[in-house]
Structure 1
Amino acid sequence: MMLGWFVRLSLGLASLITGLFVAKDAVNFGIVNVMVAVLLLTAVISVLAFWPMISTGAMSAYRNFLRRP
């Protein structure tokens, strides 16, 4: 049940992004839509996997920014 909601939300967001670049009545809209959904899923998983490194780097950059006169 929860997976269905995630897939529906993912494909809905992918449809919005795909609709900006491909006409909705194009033959390959479904294929491009699934490719965009997979890319979004990969991006979300990458951010979650590297979140400790991203947050540490951001905090370090912020501290360096505050130290500069």
Structure 2
Amino acid sequence: MMAIDLDKVLDKAWADKPLVEVLGAPVAALKGVTDKDGALLQEAFGVKTVADLGKLKYVRWAQALVALEHSVK
């Protein structure tokens, strides 16, 4: 199972919330993502929540390509 330090990836207000709440949070709950960024993601891809971003096919494709690149090194 993968471990993640939520303090490093979430804004302070979200770091102690249950996972189900974090997944339903606006993408601006992610550290470094602004409300404006969230609005642009919603406009471009229909992404409203952290879960939406994680499920976005373009994000998954990019992650797969990066994993593939690491597997051939």
Please tell me whether Structure 1 or Structure 2 has the larger radius of gyration of its CA atoms.
1
* Structure with the bigger percentage of helix: 1
- The normalised TM-score by structure 2 is 0.33
- The normalised TM-score by structure 1 is 0.34
Which structure is higher in RCO with an 8 Å CA cutoff and minimum separation 6?
A: 1
